[in-house]
Amino acid sequence: MPASPALIAVDWGTSSFRAYLLSGNGALLDRVTRPAGIITVTDGNFACVLRTVCAAWIATCPGLPILMCGMIGSRQGWQEAEYVSGEVGAAELAAASALIRGEPGIVQIVPGIQALSFDGGPDVMRGEETILIGALATGAPRTALYCMPGTHSKWVSVSNGRIGSFSTFLTGELFAVLSERSILSDLIGDDKVATDELRKQSFLRGLEMAAEQAHLMHQLFSIRATVLTGTGTTFVVDEVLSGLLIGTELMSVSRYIKQHSGAVTLLASGAILERYSEALEYMGHASVIHDAEPACISGLHSVAANLGLMPPVPVASPMTLRRPPA
């Protein structure tokens, strides 16, 4: 007999909307994605967006509980889910989940986390906590340093399966700003015919620049100066920029990587996964790879189980170990 739907799980971020239809044991029955992040909902009618995107599921299985994570629980989202502090696991996230007022049935939002960064200052996350919980439930290391690259890259210290301190880097956002709205912008886009090899070498050049530990602000301008003067070897500007920013991020956390025995656990999906994996290898660090999307699904399932919405059935998933070159 086919499994029956038991939960609509939603990862609702700043720019994207991902929803998953899950069975009682957490199996994925269906999924839907839309470019309908919270910044696209200009009228604040998040309920309408949810019902429209998930209309088929809601019509077929009315009354299904809905659990959401991500920026939907921010001040700019549907309803703010307060930050949880201290060492956090699935039980703490469930206990602090926010129930949407005025909605029929059960519609809840997973809270974010606030903690001290590695240097002792304040830091916050929304959405990544659910991915981490899911990764831990599906076999990721329970004591490790995690890297979660993205618009705002997170480096998280996890001990005995509980989230501790973490630091955020605006690497992805800074890349977007510099490549779209800076003096480097007009140098990007004219190299669409660049070969894959040239792109790879350009990215490595950016990593090499970061490893030199020179002044980032000067290095950023030097990219433009090199192009304008025609000195040095040919490179792809956005690839060098990407390598420089990611490499600078890795150099910033290098001492924390050394403090954690074993490999960095890289939790991501898509092209950015390969990019950070390559950068870590270049910098001489081992990495354990774990896919972020199934981890998010598992995390939402784990929180739902702690809310009593469905039984917990963790399923182990494989990981890939990459070692640095000898």
Q: By the 8 A CB rule, do 76 and 312 touch?
A: no
Q: What is the pLDDT of residue 161?
A: 87
Each of the 326 residues of the chain gets a pLDDT tens digit; together they read 568 999 999 999 988 999 999 999 899 999 999 999 999 999 999 999 999 999 999 999 999 999 999 999 999 999 999 999 988 889 999 999 999 988 878 999 999 999 999 999 999 999 999 999 999 988 899 999 999 998 899 999 998 888 889 999 999 999 999 999 999 999 887 666 688 899 999 999 999 999 998 899 999 999 999 988 988 778 899 999 999 999 999 999 999 998 887 789 999 988 999 999 999 999 999 999 999 999 999 999 999 999 999 876 554 444 444 444 44
pLDDT score at 312: 66
**Which helix (H) or strand (E) is 322 found in, with range?**
strand 320-322
Q: Residue 190 has what pLDDT? A: 62
pLDDT at 322: 47
Half-sphere exposure of 44 (CA within 13 A, CB side): 6
Cα 126 to Cα 262: distance, rounded to the nearest angstrom: 27
Asked if residues 65 and 110 have their Cβ atoms less than 8 Å apart, the reply is: no
The model carries a pTM of: 0.87
Question: Helix count (H) and strand count (E) of the chain?
Answer: 11, 14
The pLDDT score that the predictor gives to residue 55 is: 96
Q: Let me know: does 260 contact 254? Beta carbons within 8 Å.
A: no
Cα-Cα-Cα-Cα dihedral sign, residues 137, 272, 30, 64: positive
